[in-house]
Amino acid sequence: MAAGAAVSAFVTGSGTEAADVMLTGLITGAAVGGAQSLLLSQGRAVWTAINATGWSFGWLLTSLVIVDIERHHAVFGSSGALLVTLLTGLALRRTVVTA
């Protein structure tokens, strides 16, 4: 997560606009999903993409709900966490059920 957050801070200039926080989520989520995917025997790219997408929307939701996004939080808030958990959980369930 730290590596993804560092890259996203460099790329976005730590911006707090919607596009910035979504790109932050995309980059950081790809780093986290990529690290997690090393434990998978198949579907690594899909898992990485799901995490990147989930984190991007998690940050977007947080930016719409949280009042002080300008404080540069390290990770999205509970609203974003719930959304990411729901998205990745559903994706994981679909993967496990269909495998």
Q: Give the other-Cβ count within 10 Å of 93's Cβ.
A: 10
Number of domains comprising the chain: 1
Give the pLDDT of residue 42.
85
Helix ranges, the chain (H): 2-12, 18-37, 44-65, 78-98
The parent domain of residue 60 ranges over 2-98
Give every CB contact of residue 60 below 8 A, 6+ residues apart in sequence. Answer: 18, 21, 22, 25, 80
Q: Letter for the amino acid at 49?
A: A
Rounded to whole angstroms, the Cα distance separating 85 from 93 reads 12
Per-residue pLDDT of the chain (99 residues; tens, 9 = 90+): 999 999 999 999 999 899 999 999 999 999 999 999 999 888 899 999 999 999 999 999 988 887 677 777 778 889 999 999 999 999 888 876 665
Q: What is the pLDDT of residue 98?
A: 61
Q: How far apart are CA 64 and CA 47, in angstroms?
A: 26
Instruction: Return the sign of the alpha-carbon dihedral for residues 90, 93, 98, 99.
Output: positive
* pTM metric for this prediction: 0.87
